[in-house]
Amino acid sequence: MTAETGGRVVAFHGVHRMSHPLIDEVRAYWEAKRAGRAAPTRAEIDPREIAPALANTFLTEPVAPGVVRLRVAGQHLCDLMGMEVRGMPLAALFAMPARPRLAEAVRMVHDGRTGALLRLTARWSLGAPALTGHALLLPLADRQGAVAHLLGCLVVEGGIGRPPRRLEIEALQPLSLAVAPVTVAAPAMAEAAAPFRHAPQAGSPPALRLVTGAE
């Protein structure tokens, strides 16, 4: 199966099965915040409102076409690298062969007003087991409505082992993000929208730490 993105064809055979509860949590939060628009703004996003996915959530700022830097990064990303990752390029978490495809996904989200879902792997090495995971990239708009930042969620399952662990991209799936039709009542409805609340979780939420830079 393939999908066309800006004249380019991206294969995602079997990728339609990619999903994870934390990925779904972040996407539902993003959908609630955008309220039918092309994308919510960066100012509307507070990762603390997605408590179950806080450790896996990140926000980026652009550096160059296809290159973004981590401005907010959950603890899970720091654990993968074995160090603080705030201020580092998102590509630092990926193996060199995967970085061109990551750049393609970033450009796709910035330029095409779409989302991207990545299926990830990490190879086995001494003291570091093979890993599988997923990542979600979603657009965030500036005050003029242009895509300027990304909201992301990265989930790697299993024991991380000895860091740093650098990821490879096994598959890339563009996500169609439909925009609701504009009506006269839409602005008032958007202002009155109820805040997003995640589904109740069993037991106490795990202790999570958010790493954020100065605004």
The CATH number assigned to the domain holding 84 equals 3.30.450.20
Instruction: Check whether 140 has a pLDDT greater than 60.
Output: yes
Q: How many domains does the chain have?
A: 1
Segments forming the whole domain that contains residue 50: 29-174
What percentage of the chain exceeds 90 in pLDDT?
A: 62
189 within domain boundaries: no
130 within domain boundaries: yes
Between 206 and 189, the higher pLDDT residue: 206
pLDDT value at position 24? 95
Residues with Cβ within 8 Å of residue 105, at least 6 apart in sequence: 116, 118, 137, 169, 172
23 within domain boundaries: no
Render pLDDT for 53-71 as a digit per residue (tens, 0 to 9): 999 999 999 999 999 999 9
Average pLDDT over residues 1-23: 52
179 DSSP assignment: -
- Among positive and negative, which fits the CA dihedral 66, 71, 74, 75? positive
- Among positive and negative, which fits the CA dihedral 53, 180, 137, 210? negative
Average pLDDT over residues 66-92: 97
| β-bridge partners, 140 | 149
195 within domain boundaries: no
Range from 2-6, 157-161, 193-197 carrying the lowest mean pLDDT: 2-6
pLDDT value at position 42? 93
pTM comes to: 0.76
Average pLDDT over residues 129-136: 95
